[in-house]
A = this chain, B = another copy of it.
Amino acid sequence: MKLVLAYVNPYRVDDIVEAVKNTEISGLTVVEAQGFGRQAGHEEIYRGAEYEVDLVQKVRIEILIDDIMAPETMSMIEEVVHTGSIGDGKVLILDVEDVVRIRTGERGEDAV
C-alpha cells in the first residue's frame, strides 16, 4: 500500500474531495499546514514593523491507496489541482508497510 501525500492550496480541498468521490478511493485525511517554497513570501506590516512572511497557508492531504492505484491517484490530484502557477504544490508517494482498519480488524490491502 502507498500513502499519497499532497501539499496544496486550501481552496483545493473541495475539488479534491469531489474528485475522490468519483473514484474507488476509500477516503482521505486533510491537515492544515503552512508552506514555504518557490512561491514568494510576502511582507506584512503591522503598525509599521515589517515582517518577511515566508509561510503560506496550505493543506496537506493524505490518501492511503493500494499499490496499483497509487500512480493514478497521484495523477488525479495533479490534474485537479494544476493551474500552472507557483504554489500549486507537490504530490509524494510513500510506501506503507501495513494497515489495519480498526472497526473490522481487516489488514493490508483489505483495510485500504
Contact = CB atoms under 8 A, between A and B. Distances in A.
Interface residues of A, number: 58
A55 B17 contact: yes
Given A17-B54, A91-B99, A102-B89, A37 B31 contact: no
A87 to B, nearest CB: 8
Contacts of A105: 78, 82
Given A78-B102, A91-B100, A102-B89, A38 B17 contact: no
B3 A29 contact: no
A91 to B, nearest CB: 5
A102 B91 contact: yes
A85 B78 CA distance: 33
Contact of A60 (B31, B85, B93): B31
A59 B19 CA distance: 23
Given A97-B95, A103-B88, A38 B26 contact: yes
